[in-house]
Structure 1
């Protein structure tokens, strides 16, 4: 097992990857409200609503991304896909800031970028930290210090982000916001590139076996999967239908007359609340999960 200062080199690769992801995330957040108010001329109420909806979905989607990683993709693929998706989202924010004077186009690019950031975060966030402990044996007393080192990467990235992105993006001139978003994009690309290049060499357990690969499926498991495809389709339709119904219910202004039930509806916020209710129920009722796994998901949700 390759070690540096008593720890496997894979830990430092995860440190660097997480550091750049946090740099990207907090760099964007440092500028986002200012960009909406100063460049796109949103009023503060609208900007706060968009910002709150974004941060709410960012903390919701890891539940979905972790589920997909455990069932289908594995941690490695989920991290790479998530990182590249977030980098693309940051680039769309950069383009939005490039065309901030064309408000309609800038808004469209901004919301598309936010969607990609939310989606990418769902794949990235729950998977990278789970790989830290798997670099060690269960009884290895270095694991506590390993997580301390790993979360130092979070602190370093979140500290540098406002300094760098704020310096180049928040100059008092709306046309300069794009440089802050571009810096966040470059940071995410650096993290994704480092992980992709070195993951096969360093991300392994003490026996040298790769960590975070896609789960292996036996022939019997594959056959069971095929026979349950109809049930899976039904669950998907149920999930979509339930989410849509709850979104509509949460969007209704119950104090208005029938002609104005959806006046000033917060569709994004309603979608967040609806998904928060539906997704945990769908996941917890998955018969492929054992009781222990369901309890862990329940604790995370609470």
Structure 2
């Protein structure tokens, strides 16, 4: 049989843009805007769930992890339908329409959930102003609007703040002006704020800290007054803040003069009333986005590959440019959607993400002529055949999205089940591939299939750690990190741009490093790179733990350590992600490449589902979307991050030890393999 001709350049008559097929421009811009919408929404999602809808940390993290997992898993359906029936062009267009609808649906937020706090015999509806670390809570206390603070640590940290009055309508980004007046109801007898010793004690105890009391008197209104050694007087009435749930300790003495009421430790309760309509709109919108990404993402990449003839040396460069479009969209999204959503309102951020996807849809629709016939349906006649009743195959493919949306809505409402379901499915897929390797393959093909399956499974620990960026790491940044840089309190979503920014900066250097090492025959093998990637994902958390432990138990972590963990994780990603899909396509048997790509997405989804489980374990107790015990929450985050850091590094080390075995499985000239194949061919 004659060898196929090798293409060494563009085909005659090809219309180009800077040396590449002009269709690459359309794919670049479409994917850039799709990633813009995806990461713009992702940057806000967890804060939105916790602060607007008042989901607990655990619930919100399960929803986030389940959402990301379903995005990957449902990509299998979009890929299969496009390959067999729709073609990539129709699939991408349909996916973009679903995405536009889903992102705009996220902008319908309602007024948010309402939480009622009950303590000291009263019920108080919590009202909120602002978002992210700018968020403040208020109560209508005895007919006046009061600031709600949860523990002495938070209260002490606000000493230098200056506030302006809340408006009569209770709306807007208002805060209260501090007036240094008085203390509490019933100074003696409150847990965490009690008088020590006898009835006429001269010592005041607050969370284990003692304050000398110089006198105990009453004012003209017959209110009890305590005078401390430093001259502060403590009375029953105040026109400033309410200190509730005084549970945390601090080395810094809080300014007690702003407190008017406390609740005994644990002697409080809360109830949350969610707006069912808007919660359903939230899940419906997320389900639309899942279905849209499923139809668009796997197929836009396929179009890029189809633009280049087989053997075209420009292909790698084309995919590099396409990959830069992904990161450009991610980088721009967190700086625009993230800032707009935090400073001006959730709907503005989500709405801008929808505008970005609409631009991507318009680019792809009007630029299809630049694709030069690539990505058309395999058979137009097949699409017109009847599937059931009056519905033809093309519309049956579109209607499958209804099933996807309904299924995903149901799963997201019970997001805690997504992880176990994904894990069970992943185990069954693994068993299926192993059985297939023994029944359908022999020799080197079998071992190479094992290697491909190894890489698919080995990505699970990496993504379970890396995807904390959108979940637990987002909450830690918002709650426990000093995000002020050069006088600007940087919105939390902006920090998610660090990954894309570091890729822009360091990816070329990593590529040059591999080239230089290859010339010296020192370049690590693919299994070693994978091991280093997983090891780095774990190492990043130990870097962050070091930063969190470097300051007091309730002090804010320096922002440098957020930069550090994102940098370590980006370096780990560059070790693992670029080689993963490439290894799958090279190692999978030719007739099973599509099946193995589906497996890659399944295990990516499983890793993301696991990320939600990990993030839920790192959650903190909240009231009104705010943590009630800073020191306790920080201790738990440190414990969880330390555990996953060491586990990730341990898994990476084990992967490094078995890397030589995986490398031998990858080799095409394995002696045992050659002998088996020669036997099969009758040569021995």
Distance of aligned partners of 1:81 and 1:299 in 2 relative to their CA distance in 1, 3 Å threshold? closer
Distance, in Å, in 2 between the alignment partners of 1:115 and 1:265 is 12
Q: Aligned runs of 1:1-302 on 2, under 5 Å?
A: 1-95=14-108, 97-101=109-113, 103-171=275-343, 176-199=345-368, 201-204=369-372, 210-216=373-379, 266-273=416-423, 292-298=590-596, 300-302=598-600
TM-score, length basis structure 1: 0.74
SS of 1:170's equivalent in the other structure is: helix
**Structure 1 position 7, deviation (Å):** 1.1
Distance of aligned partners of 1:152 and 1:114 in 2 relative to their CA distance in 1, 3 Å threshold? same
CA contact (8 A) 1:75 1:128 kept: yes
Provide the aligned C-alpha RMSD in A: 2.9
CA contact (8 A) 2:30 2:363 kept: yes
- After superposition, give the CA deviation of every residue in 1:248-290 in whole Å (9 maximum; x if it has no partner): xxxxxxxxxxxxxxxx983444554566567897xxx9xxxxx
**Structure 1 position 77, deviation (Å):** 0.5
Distance of aligned partners of 1:276 and 1:60 in 2 relative to their CA distance in 1, 3 Å threshold? farther
5+ unaligned residues in a row in structure 2: which ranges? 1-13, 114-273, 387-402, 408-413, 437-588, 601-684
Please state which structure has a larger fraction of its residues in helix.
1
Distance, in Å, in 2 between the alignment partners of 1:218 and 1:26 is 38
Distance, in Å, in 1 between the alignment partners of 2:351 and 2:42 is 13
CA contact (8 A) 1:99 1:105 kept: no
Distance, in Å, in 1 between the alignment partners of 2:596 and 2:336 is 38
Q: Greater relative contact order: 1 or 2 (C-alpha under 8 angstroms, separation 6 or more)?
A: 1
Distance, in Å, in 2 between the alignment partners of 1:212 and 1:278 is 32
- After superposition, give the CA deviation of every residue in 1:92-147 in whole Å (9 maximum; x if it has no partner): 1111x244356222211000011111111110111001111211221221111111
Please state which structure has a larger fraction of its residues in strand.
2
CA contact (8 A) 1:93 1:110 kept: yes
Count of residues paired in the alignment: 246
TM-score, length basis structure 2: 0.34
CA contact (8 A) 1:53 1:272 kept: no
CA contact (8 A) 2:63 2:416 kept: no
CA contact (8 A) 1:87 1:189 kept: yes
Distance of aligned partners of 1:84 and 1:278 in 2 relative to their CA distance in 1, 3 Å threshold? farther
